[in-house]
């Protein structure tokens, strides 16, 4: 039989299996075992297999997973079909014609961005190190060579001053970060909290710690994770950006190669999808790091996985790639709703290898990034793979302070907190995200945005306000009452909104002030405010002002704090009575 005749026979055989019934119910035509056997025979007789990822209508009856020889599912609305390479286009075309099929796309070969050589950290540069912690600054051996921690200067524009953010932040919430990669191992600087293996390399599920110096060429995921969460302030190696639980989601083999389908499945796993047929991750992930990519547009199965993660409040951070071309040609860098990260050097110049273009959102240090080497010692690394975990660490830093920050808020804040580049030859995003500016923006715009303290008689919407009537009926002096109005400040179960009075000249912190009022509603009343002696701030605490979520207080809008003239003028009681009558009447 000729090659073309054999190919035609193969397509007809697959079509017969797929389309025997209008509902595409393969199981109704042949047994699962028989169908798999027929598919394997076709693949064995032809060229290497191609996996087609089929998106179905929700709750559709399309059933093609029986054709897949051990493929992973990409979610409840997907099936995976394995076919010979030469039959892939024809089979995909036939599938697209069927009712209930929304999209048919190929699984794409995926890898860590083109690897760049690493170099050991030279002990002759020890003069850069700090031997003891100074005012909370980490004392890790190579801390001063972690340039993304150091302050930006006119010369070193690529330094992001994460130190300033680290020292100012109140780190109140435990964060969980998923690194989707390969080359994971436990190390004195970083132990993984859990994970899962979605590849066919090793024992599925349990073998997520895959790095073996004898058999593997890549410890890529270990380096990525260490930049985010290495043990800090232990007088060794480097400082991790956040104290976090890191999860090793293995979606590539130990040489850093795999498939985009496994990566999409890993995203869903990290986001808590329970339809994958594997044990659930069991925690709320805050950030997903994807320092990997494939050539091509963003397929529906990856975009849907990202959308699912975002619906769970998870920020997805992605490497732009190391091919020195437009990042729009690579996925998931070109997917919607991700933060795509390019690379600059210490001087703030575009790294020679970094991808660029409209798909890039921000850039961060990606040259001479120091991290532990699982084979011993510490090394410098280069690539957008290592810019990306710096961005992931910054997002996690925000979530440590307030877990309600959304993916859109995180992206907006990282973009709005940038400094200027040095030399660039192509678009590299909004700029180089700066840690100090990020922390300032967070403190000034996210926490308690719109919260206020004002006199009760200055409010405009008293008609339906039983709150004030209750106080009046209890014979309070209404002229001494003030309203706290809370916005954009989630209330933790069992806690209260607490108003603090802090003497002028002191930092606006709970530990510098005295609790003067508390409530569990977003509007509550406090008496006797003295704006001549005190500034006022708000925080979520126990009702007595202890056990606050953060020490730094929310600054309040006090533009309507002054007592109305009717409270102080002659005949004030008569004026006040008229005001109160207005309150009663609405």
- Beta-bridge partners for 252: 258
| Cα maximum dimension of the chain | 111
Q: In what order do the strands lie in the sheet with 119-120?
A: 119-120, 378-381, 369-372
Q: Where are the alpha helices (DSSP H) in 62-179?
A: 88-96, 162-168
Is residue 452 within 8 A of residue 485, CB to CB? The reply is yes
Mutual orientation of helices 260-270 and 300-311 as an angle, nearest 10°? 10
Q: Of 309, 290, 304, whose CA–CA distance to 252 is shortest?
A: 290
Catalytic residue, candidates 181, 210, 326, 345: 181
CA-to-CA distance for 115 and 385, rounded, in angstroms? Answer: 9
Closest CA to 220 of 379, 377, 353, 356: 379
Considering the candidates 218, 385, 417, 579, report the single residue annotated as catalytic.
385
Given the residues 220, 397, 455, 496, select the one marked as catalytic. 220
Could you tell me the two tokens for 157?
């524009």
Q: Note if 471 is an active site residue.
A: no
Is residue 307 classed as helix, strand or coil in its secondary structure? helix
Instruction: Find, among 204, 318, 285, 281, the residue nearest to 250 by Cα.
Output: 204
Q: Are 319 and 293 in contact (CB under 8 A)?
A: yes
Find where tokens 């340039």 sit: 147
Helix/strand/coil for 55: strand
For residue 181, indicate whether it is catalytic. yes
- Backbone torsions φ then ψ of 186, nearest 5 degrees: -75, 145
String of b and e for 378-407 (b: at least 16 CB within 10 Å)?
bbbbbbbbbbbbbbbbbbbbbbbbbbebeb
Find tokens 């190669």 and name the residue: 257
Q: Determine whether 385 is an active site residue.
A: yes
- The region that residue 135 occupies, defined by phi over 0 for left and psi between -120 and 50 for alpha, beta otherwise, is left
Cβ 428 vs Cβ 351: under 8 Å: no
Closest by alpha carbon to 109, among 195, 197, 49, 64? 49
- Determine if residue 153 is left, alpha or beta; phi over 0 gives left, psi from -120 to 50 gives alpha, anything else beta: beta
CA–CA dist 523, 532 (Å, integer)? 23
CA torsion 436→442→443→446, rounded to 10°? 170
- The CA distances from residue 427 to 297, 351, 423, in Å, are 19, 12, 11
Cβ partners under 8 Å of residue 519, min gap 6: 484, 496, 497, 525
Q: List residues with catalytic annotation.
A: 181, 220, 385
């Amino acid at each position: 039989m000729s090659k073309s005749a054999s190919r035609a026979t193969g397509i007809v055989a697959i079509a017969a299996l797929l389309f025997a019934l209008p509902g595409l119910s393969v199981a109704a035509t042949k047994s699962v075992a028989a169908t798999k056997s027929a598919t394997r025979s076709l693949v064995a007789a032809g060229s290497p297999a191609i996996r087609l990822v089929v998106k179905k209508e929700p709750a559709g009856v399309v059933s093609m997973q029986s054709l897949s020889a051990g493929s992973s599912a990409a979610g409840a609305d997907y099936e995976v079909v394995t076919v010979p390479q030469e039959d892939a286009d024809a089979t995909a075309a036939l599938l697209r014609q069927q009712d209930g099929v929304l999209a048919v796309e190929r699984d794409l070969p995926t890898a860590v961005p083109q690897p760049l050589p690493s170099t050991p950290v030279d002990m002759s540069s020890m003069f850069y190190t700090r031997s003891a912690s100074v005012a909370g600054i980490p004392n890790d051996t190579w801390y001063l060579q972690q340039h993304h921690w150091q302050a930006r200067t006119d010369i070193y524009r690529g330094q992001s001053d994460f130190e300033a953010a680290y020292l100012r932040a109140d780190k109140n919430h435990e964060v969980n970060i998923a690194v989707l990669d390969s080359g994971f191992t436990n190390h004195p600087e970083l132990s993984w909290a859990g994970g899962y293996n979605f590849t066919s390399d090793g024992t599925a599920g349990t073998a997520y710690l895959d790095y073996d110096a004898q058999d593997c060429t890549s410890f890529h995921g270990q380096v990525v994770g260490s930049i985010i969460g290495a043990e800090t302030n232990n007088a060794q190696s480097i400082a991790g950006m956040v104290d976090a639980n890191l999860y090793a989601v293995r979606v590539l083999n130990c040489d850093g190669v795999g498939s985009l389908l496994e990566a999409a499945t890993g995203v869903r796993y990290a986001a808590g999808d329970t339809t994958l047929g594997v044990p659930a991750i069991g925690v709320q992930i805050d950030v997903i790091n994807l320092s990997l990519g494939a050539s091509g547009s963003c397929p529906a199965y990856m975009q849907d996985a990202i959308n699912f993660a975002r619906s769970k409040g998870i920020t997805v951070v992605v490497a732009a790639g190391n091919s020195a071309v437009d990042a729009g040609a690579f996925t998931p860098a070109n997917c919607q709703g991700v933060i795509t990260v390019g690379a600059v050097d210490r001087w703030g110049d575009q790294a020679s290898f970094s991808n660029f273009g409209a798909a890039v959102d921000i850039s961060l240090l990606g040259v001479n990034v120091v991290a532990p080497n699982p084979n011993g010692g510490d090394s410098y690394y280069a690539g957008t793979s290592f810019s990306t975990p710096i961005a992931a660490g910054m997002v996690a830093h925000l979530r440590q302070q307030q877990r309600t920050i959304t993916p859109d808020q995180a992206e907006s804040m990282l973009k709005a907190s940038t400094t200027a580049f040095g030399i660039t030859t192509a678009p590299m995003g909004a700029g180089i995200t700066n840690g100090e500016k990020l922390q300032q923006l967070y403190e000034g715009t996210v926490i308690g945005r719109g919260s206020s303290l004002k006199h009760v008689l200055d409010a405009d919407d008293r008609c339906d306000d039983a709150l004030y009537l209750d106080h009046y009926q209890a014979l309070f002096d209404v002229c001494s009452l003030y309203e706290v109005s809370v916005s954009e400040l989630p209330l933790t179960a069992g806690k209260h909104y607490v108003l603090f009075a802090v003497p002028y000249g002191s930092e606006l912190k709970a530990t510098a002030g005295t609790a003067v009022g508390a409530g569990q509603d977003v509007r509550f009343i406090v008496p006797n405010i003295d704006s001549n002696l005190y500034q006022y701030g708000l925080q979520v605490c126990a009702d007595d002002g202890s056990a606050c979520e953060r020490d730094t207080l929310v600054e309040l809008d006090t533009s309507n704090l002054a007592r109305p003239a009717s409270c102080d003028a002659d005949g004030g009681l008569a004026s006040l009575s008229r005001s109160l009558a207005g309150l009663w009447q609405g």
